[in-house]
Structure 1
Amino acid sequence: MIDVARAAGVSHQTVSRVINNSPDVSAATRVKVMDVIDKLEYRPSNAARALVTSKSHTIGLIIGESMILGVKDIVSAIESSSKSRGYFLSLSMVNEVLCTQSDIDLIVKGFDEQNIDGLIIIASTDAMFSASCKLRSNIPRVILTSTHGSVSIHEGRSLLKQNSSSSVSKFSFIGVNQWRAMADVVSVVNSSGHRDALYVAGPLMWRDAATRLSAWNKISQANSMRSRIMQCTSWKSSESYSRMNHVIEQCGVEGAQLPSVIVAASDLQAIGVIRSLYEHGFKVPADVSVVGFGDDCGMCDLFPPLTTVNIEPLTIGSLAVREMMRLIHGGAELVFADMAHGVGLNPASVVLRASLGKPNYIK
Structure 2
Amino acid sequence: MASPGVEKPNIRQVAQLAGVSHMTVSRVLNDHPNIRESTRRRVEEAIEELGYRPSLTARALATQRSHRIGVLVESATTFGPTSTLYAVESAARASGYEVSSVFLQAGAKITPQEAVDHLVALGVDALCVVAPRSSSIADLRRIAVGVPVLVVKPDKDPTFLTVTVDQRAGTALAVDHLVALGHRDILHLAGPLDWLDARSRERAFHARAKSWGIRERPVVVGDWTADFAYEFARGIRELPEYTAVFVANDDMAVGLVHGLHERGFSVPDDLSVVGFDDIPLARHVIPPLTTVRQNFDALGVSIVEVLRAAIEEREIPDVTRISAEIVTRASSARPRKTA
Aligned ranges 1:202-217 → 2 under 5 Å? 202-217=191-206
Q: Quick one: which amino acid aligns to residue 335 of structure 2?
A: P
Q: CA deviation at 1:196?
A: 1.9
Q: CA deviation at 1:283?
A: 0.9
The match for 2:337 is 361
Q: 2:169 aligns with which of 173, 176, 180?
A: 180
Q: Distance in 1 between matches of 2:240 and 2:42?
A: 71
The alignment's TM-score, normalised by the length of structure 2, stands at: 0.84
| Cα 1:14–1:199 shift into 2, 3 Å | closer
The answer as to 2:219 corresponding to 1:229 is: yes
Aligned ranges 1:66-77 → 2 under 5 Å? 66-77=76-87
Q: 1:302 aligns with which of 279, 285, 293?
A: 285
Q: Is this contact kept in 2: 1:99–1:127, CA < 8 A? A: no
The match for 2:115 is 107
Query: What CA deviation, in whole Å up to 9, does each residue of 1:8-59 have, x standing for no partner?
Result: 49876566545444456776698479848965x6654423432343111111
- What percent identity do the matched residue pairs reach? 29
| Cα 1:104–1:3 shift into 2, 3 Å | same
Q: Distance in 1 between matches of 2:33 and 2:205?
A: 50
| Cα 1:304–1:34 shift into 2, 3 Å | closer
Q: Distance in 1 between matches of 2:121 and 2:111?
A: 16
Name the stretch that deviates more: 43-52 or 13-22. 13-22
Q: Distance in 2 between matches of 1:348 and 1:69?
A: 16
| Cα 1:2–1:25 shift into 2, 3 Å | farther
How large is the Cα RMSD of the aligned pairs? Answer: 3.1
| Cα 1:22–1:281 shift into 2, 3 Å | same
Q: Distance in 1 between matches of 2:35 and 2:166?
A: 42
Q: CA deviation at 1:2?
A: 11
Q: Distance in 1 between matches of 2:334 and 2:40?
A: 65
Name the stretch that deviates more: 311-320 or 22-31. 22-31
Q: Distance in 2 between matches of 1:136 and 1:325?
A: 20
The match for 2:128 is 120
| Cα 1:67–1:259 shift into 2, 3 Å | same
Q: Distance in 1 between matches of 2:266 and 2:48?
A: 63
Q: CA deviation at 1:292?
A: 0.7
Q: Is this contact kept in 1: 2:75–2:81, CA < 8 A? A: no
Q: Is this contact kept in 2: 1:295–1:308, CA < 8 A? A: yes
Q: Quick one: which amino acid aligns to residue 188 of structure 1?
A: H
Q: CA deviation at 1:109?
A: 1.5
The answer as to 2:279 corresponding to 1:282 is: no
The alignment's TM-score, normalised by the length of structure 1, stands at: 0.79
Contiguous gaps of at least 5 residues in structure 2: 1-7
Q: Distance in 1 between matches of 2:43 and 2:180?
A: 61
Q: Distance in 1 between matches of 2:97 and 2:280?
A: 28
The answer as to 2:328 corresponding to 1:352 is: yes
SS at the partner of 1:243?
A: helix
Query: What CA deviation, in whole Å up to 9, does each residue of 1:113-137 have, x standing for no partner?
Result: 2211111111211122222333212
Aligned ranges 1:62-211 → 2 under 5 Å? 62-95=72-105, 103-147=111-155, 157=158, 160=159, 171-211=160-200
Q: Distance in 2 between matches of 1:191 and 1:127?
A: 37
SS at the partner of 1:55?
A: coil
Q: CA deviation at 1:189?
A: 1.2
Name the stretch that deviates more: 7-16 or 189-198. 7-16
Query: What CA deviation, in whole Å up to 9, does each residue of 1:129-179 have, x standing for no partner?
Result: 2223332122011111123xxxxx5xx52xx3xxxxxxxxxx411112222
Q: Is this contact kept in 2: 1:241–1:272, CA < 8 A? A: yes
Q: 1:268 aligns with which of 236, 251, 256?
A: 251
Q: Is this contact kept in 1: 2:72–2:128, CA < 8 A? A: yes
Contiguous gaps of at least 5 residues in structure 1: 148-152, 161-170, 337-343
| Cα 1:57–1:258 shift into 2, 3 Å | same
The match for 1:321 is 304
Q: Is this contact kept in 1: 2:288–2:329, CA < 8 A? A: yes
Number of residue pairs matched by the alignment = 327
